Amino acid sequence: TKGDNSEQVEVIEYTDTELMDSSSGAGMCGATKGPHITLMTLILWPVAIFPSLAVAFYYGAWTWYNLYIYFSEERTICHKIFICPILIITFPLTVGLSSVGIAIFAAFVQISWSFYSWKMEFLDFEKGFYGWLCLKLDLSMCSPYDMYTDELELQPMKT
């Protein structure tokens, strides 16, 4: 390496979408990007809502069920008496409205100029909202899917 600071390394990471976009040509328009792709994504906007709504409702119901089981079986009797009835009563409001919100968000996010970024967003129905919510509530065991946290433990280097 050149220069005084040979310990610095610059890491450049590319996503699959960036690699596909860069390999498809340097121009603003082409077979895989341009106004025709944006028009296609606008036409498919209603189609994007329904699978996202179904998947978001499924994951929302699964998360709600995991929360209910957690509060009814692993917490105190006070949680069974006070929290579980509130969870049951608010099911349509919490799961229903969050599913609709996620579906509308997913439909807007899939609008794109590039075919590859559209495809990636279109096929990501739920956007990881319920996993994020469980992590923020510090109840990762209630997540509808497996969650992995990347914790790196740094040790001092011995010379």
Contact in structure between 112 and 41 (CB atoms under 8 Å): yes
Q: Is residue 116 part of a domain?
A: yes
Task: Lowest mean pLDDT of 25-34, 36-45, 98-107, name the range.
Answer: 25-34
Q: Is residue 2 part of a domain?
A: no
- Over 70: is that where the pLDDT of 53 sits? yes
Could you list the residue range(s) of the whole structural domain that residue 90 is in? 31-142
pLDDT band at 81 (very low <50, low <70, confident <90, very high): confident
Q: How far is CA 5 from the centre of its chain?
A: 38
- Over 70: is that where the pLDDT of 10 sits? no
Q: How many CB atoms lie within 10 A of CB 144?
A: 19
Q: Is residue 16 part of a domain?
A: no
Mean pLDDT, to the nearest integer, of 2-22?
Answer: 52
Number of domains in the chain: 1
Task: Lowest mean pLDDT of 32-36, 69-73, 114-118, 149-153, name the range.
Answer: 149-153
Whole-structure pTM value: 0.66
pLDDT band at 109 (very low <50, low <70, confident <90, very high): confident
With a pLDDT cut of 70, the percent of the chain lying above it is: 71
pLDDT band at 150 (very low <50, low <70, confident <90, very high): low
Residue 69 pairs in a beta bridge with: none
State the pLDDT at residue 8: 53
Q: Is residue 24 part of a domain?
A: no
Burial class (CB in 10 A: 0-12, 13-18, 19+), 121: buried
Rg (CA), the chain: 22
Compute the distance between CA of residue 144 and CA of residue 138 in angstroms, rounded to an integer.
14
pLDDT band at 3 (very low <50, low <70, confident <90, very high): very low
State the pLDDT at residue 15: 58
Q: Is residue 114 part of a domain?
A: yes
